[in-house]
Structures are given as C-alpha cells and as structure tokens.
Amino acid sequence: MGIKVLISVDMEGIAGIVHPAEINPERYEYERGRRLMTAAANAVVEGTFEAEPAAEVLVADSHGPYRNLLPEELDRRARLIRGKPRELGMLGGLQAGAQVAMFVGYHARAGAGGAVLAHTIADAILDVRVNGCSHGEIGINTLLAGSYGVPVVLASGDVAACDEFSALVPEVVTVPVKRGLGQLAADTLHPEEARDRLRQGAGQAIRLHAGNPPLSVPDPLHVEVDLHQPRSADLAALIPGVVRKNGRTVAFDTETMAAAYGLLQLIVLLTQIGP
C-alpha cells in the first residue's frame, strides 16, 4: 500500500479566477469556474500518481458549499469527499489516516496585500488568532493537519497565498499560479500552464515528503476571532465557552485544534443567519 494523500481544493486560488461571479453557485460564470477547479485537482492527482503509483488519494472539495468539483470529471483513481457540514471541514478525510496533505486553489488571509479574493473562512471574519498568532485558512488548516501528525507538503494559489504558506512551513513546495493586482484582479498563468506546474509540483512534493515534519501545535489553545459586525459577535457569544471580549471580538479556549476548528465552523454558520 502506498502513501495516503489528502488533497484539499479551494477555488479562489485557481489560475484564471479573479471574481466572485466565477466561484458563487448563483452567479453566471460559476460553471466555468468549477471546470477550472476540477482540472486543477486532476493535475495534482496525476502528479501524485506519477510519483507514487500505489498512492491512495482523497480529494476534499473545500470551497463554499463543498459541492463544486465535478464528480464525473474527477480522475477516477481518486476518491471524492463532498458536501457539508462535515467533521474537519476543508480537511474532511484527514481523520481517515492521511499521511500527507496538499492545499490547492487556496487564497491569502483577510487583509493580505497583493492578494486575489483574500478572506478568512467567510466575509464575516476579519481575523483569527491562535495563541496570539494571526492565521488565515492556510495557517488554520496547516495547524489542524499538524495536530493529526500530518505535514502539508504542497500549497498552490496566488503569490500572496504561497508566501503565507512558506512563512509557516519553509522549504516545502509551493506553486504560485497568479499574482494579485487587487482583490478582484490578477496577472494569471494560462490554466494549462498552471496545471503542468501543479502536476510537476505534486510529484516533487510526494518525492520529498519524508523530510517534512508536521507543524507542531501548542496546547492548550487560546483563540480570538475578530468579526465584521457586532451582531455576529452577539451570535457567537451564545455558544457555550465562547466569551465576548469587546464589540466585535470573541474568544475561547480548547485543548485540541480539532475542537477549535469545530467552534470556528459553528461561528461562521451562526454569522450567516439572517435577522
């Protein structure tokens, strides 16, 4: 049996994508966006199997509703993790014995400069700090993987996203596929060129993975979340164990990163409730 690989695929960091119309199921360019996303995922699957033919590959659809990748167009050698809510969210499948993880189509955290479609989990969140350190989805998911003893061996997205990952995990494989010119603008590779680089990067990451330790996670954890609207903080503070620190910041303590991740998912769901 070969190595077990979890590939988490988001959408904002896919080559060619720069606008919400391309990533929102209710917008007119979404179908094109999901085809680009599926093709990028396939490139990483292909590169993984080229490097390790006996690999077991799980692909986690990790954008929005978690129902974006086209199942019938995904490489048939991979298994697809699809739908929400689910345990461990963007890293659903991590608990099934994954040995390495890859992040594809990821984006930089909220407020990052020179980043395309930058945000942290949802528009309601301005910042997440774990033990005082600010993290976006890249950092939060890398910490979650590390808490399971799983190293993240590849990350792809725009240059800002790759730089964010490299600051956490130096000397691992990153595949930048576009450079942000603003929140809704980028200088992007052609999708086919990006897929060639993803295939090559995935193969390189698999061949080098033995030298990549998982990111260590200190415990216990103290997490602070800055929210865009005071009403969101009102709702978050209703969760047992979550305390209000000021008008828009809530905080909580947990013993594990998985528990912290679950609370973050719950806070996001509450912020989406209408008046």
Per the domain annotation, does 220 fall within a domain?
Answer: no
CATH number at residue 183: 3.40.50.10780
Per the domain annotation, does 227 fall within a domain?
Answer: no
pLDDT of residue 135: 97
pLDDT (tens digit, 9 = 90+) per residue, 160-205? Answer: 999 999 999 988 899 999 999 999 999 999 999 999 999 999 999 9
Burial profile 96-107: b = 16 or more Cβ within 10 angstroms, e = fewer: eebbbbbbbbbb
pLDDT of residue 5: 97
Per the domain annotation, does 104 fall within a domain?
Answer: yes
Q: What is the number of structural domains in the chain?
A: 1
pLDDT (tens digit, 9 = 90+) per residue, 13-70? Answer: 999 999 999 999 998 899 999 999 999 999 999 999 999 999 999 999 999 999 999 9
Per the domain annotation, does 98 fall within a domain?
Answer: yes
Element holding 266 (H helix, E strand) = helix 257-271
pLDDT (tens digit, 9 = 90+) per residue, 200-219? Answer: 999 999 998 867 889 988 88
Range of the domain at 83: 4-121+136-211
Q: For residues 118 and 26, what is the distance between their CA atoms, to the nearest angstrom?
A: 20
pLDDT (tens digit, 9 = 90+) per residue, 115-148? Answer: 999 999 999 999 999 999 999 999 999 999 999 9
Per the domain annotation, does 81 fall within a domain?
Answer: yes
Q: For residues 265 and 93, what is the distance between their CA atoms, to the nearest angstrom?
A: 16
pLDDT (tens digit, 9 = 90+) per residue, 76-85? Answer: 999 999 999 9
Per the domain annotation, does 257 fall within a domain?
Answer: no
Per the domain annotation, does 91 fall within a domain?
Answer: yes
pLDDT of residue 171: 80
Per the domain annotation, does 65 fall within a domain?
Answer: yes
